C-alpha cells in the first residue's frame, strides 16, 4: 500500500525536510493588514515582525476549510492508496474538525496531534520513519503515533511578552512585572492546551541554559532519537548555546533546527525558542 503523509502548516517542519520526504502541507490563512495570506506561501514570519513593529495589529490565523481539505485529499489519493494527515490540536483550531469532515468516505486518517509547531512535527517524523522503513499498515502507523501523543514534550521560553499581551493572553501588569524582574516565562503544551509553566530570571542567554536544564533534568526518561530546537528568530550565539546545553544533558541521534512559522510567530513574537522531544 502506498501511504502519503500530510500535515497542517502549523507543524513547522523545514522546507528541506518536507521536500526530501514528500510531505504535503495544508496551509492556514493568515489575515494581516486587511489582507488574507497563505501561510508559508506568500507570507513569512519576518513579514509579521515588520508589520507589528510598524504599529500594525497582530495577524489572525484561520483554519483550513473543509472544501480545501477535501480537494487536497482527493488530489493526493490520485497518487496513493491512503493518506495520514496530522492536525494542530483541536483545542487551538477547527482544522481537525474540518479535516475529519473532509475525509468522510475516503481512505484518509486524521490525527489530532493535541499539540502545535514541532510537537506535531515529532509525530509526523515518526510516521515518515515507518513509511520509509517499508511499513504499509495504516493502522500500525496510527497506533504508534497516537501512542506517542501524550509523550510529546513541547514548550517554549518567551523573551518578550508584548505579543502575548496584544493577543490577550496576559495582562499589562504581568508584562510590567516580568520586565521589571527580568522574567522569561515558559509556555508548555499540556493536554492539547497552552499553559504558563516555570518562569526563569535573568539575561536571555542565562535563561535559555536554565530552561534546557529544567526540561532535560531527567535525560534517562527522554527518547534520544530526535529533538527539535524551534525558534522565531534568535542569534546564532543563542541557538548554539541552546544546542550545546541540550547535548551536554543528552546525546540525541538528530538535532533539528527549525524556524517557526507564522502561527507561533504571531502568538509569541521574536526571541521565542523551544526544545521539543518525546519522552520514553
The mean pLDDT of the chain is 90
From the list 65, 155, 125, 127, the residue with the least C-alpha distance to 254 is: 125
Cβ–Cβ < 8 Å for 157, 198: no
**DSSP character at residue 57:** P
Grid cell for residue 156? 517554549
Q: Taking residues 99-115, what's their average pLDDT?
A: 98
Domains of the chain, with CATH numbers? Answer: 3-28+63-149 (3.40.50.10170), 154-278 (3.30.1180.10)
Encode pLDDT of 192-208 as tens digits. 888 888 889 888 999 99
Q: What is the bridge-based pairing of β-strands 108-112 and 82-87?
A: parallel
Encode pLDDT of 157-178 as tens digits. 988 776 665 554 444 334 433 4
Question: Is the pLDDT confidence value at 29 over 50?
Answer: yes
Run of H or E including 273: strand 273-278
Helix (H, G, I), strand (E, B) or coil at 227: strand
Question: Is the pLDDT confidence value at 143 over 80?
Answer: yes
Encode pLDDT of 262-272 as tens digits. 888 887 788 89
Q: Taking residues 139-161, what's their average pLDDT?
A: 94
Task: Give the span between the Cα atoms of 139 and 3, in whole angstroms.
Answer: 11
Q: What angle do CA 224, 130, 2 make, to 5 degrees?
A: 160
Task: Give the span between the Cα atoms of 88 and 110, in whole angstroms.
Answer: 11
Query: What's the pLDDT at 163?
Result: 64
Amino acid at each position: 500500500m502506498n501511504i502519503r503523509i500530510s500535515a497542517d502548516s502549523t507543524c513547522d517542519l523545514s522546507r528541506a525536510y518536507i521536500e526530501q520526504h514528500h510531505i504535503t502541507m495544508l496551509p492556514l490563512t493568515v489575515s494581516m493588514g486587511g489582507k488574507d495570506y497563505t501561510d508559508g506561501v506568500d507570507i513569512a514570519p519576518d513579514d509579521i515582525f515588520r508589520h507589528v513593529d510598524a504599529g500594525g495589529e497582530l495577524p489572525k490565523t484561520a483554519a483550513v476549510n473543509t472544501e480545501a481539505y477535501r480537494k487536497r485529499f482527493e488530489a493526493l489519493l490520485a497518487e496513493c492508496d491512503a493518506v495520514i494527515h496530522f492536525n494542530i490540536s483541536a483545542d487551538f483550531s477547527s482544522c481537525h474538525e474540518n479535516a475529519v469532515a473532509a475525509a468522510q468516505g475516503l481512505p484518509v486518517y486524521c490525527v489530532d496531534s493535541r499539540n502545535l509547531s514541532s510537537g506535531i512535527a515529532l509525530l509526523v517524523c515518526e510516521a515518515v520513519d515507518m513509511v520509509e522503513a517499508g511499513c504499509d499498515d495504516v493502522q500500525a502507523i496510527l497506533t504508534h503515533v497516537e501512542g506517542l501523543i501524550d509523550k510529546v514534550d513541547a514548550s517554549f521560553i518567551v523573551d518578550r511578552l508584548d505579543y502575548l499581551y496584544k493577543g490577550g493572553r496576559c495582562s499589562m501588569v504581568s508584562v510590567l512585572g516580568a520586565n521589571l524582574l527580568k522574567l522569561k516565562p515558559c509556555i508548555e503544551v499540556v493536554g492539547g492546551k497552552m499553559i504558563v509553566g516555570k518562569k526563569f530570571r535573568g539575561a536571555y542567554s542565562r535563561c535559555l541554559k536554565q530552561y534546557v536544564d529544567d526540561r532535560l533534568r531527567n535525560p534517562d526518561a527522554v527518547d534520544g532519537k530526535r529533538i527539535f530546537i524551534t525558534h522565531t528568530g534568535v542569534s546564532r550565539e543563542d541557538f548554539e548555546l541552546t544546542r550545546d546545553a541540550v547535548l551536554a544533558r543528552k546525546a540525541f541521534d538528530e538535532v533539528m533546527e527549525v524556524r517557526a512559522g507564522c502561527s507561533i510567530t504571531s502568538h509569541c513574537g521574536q526571541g521565542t525558542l523551544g526544545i521539543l522531544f518525546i519522552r520514553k
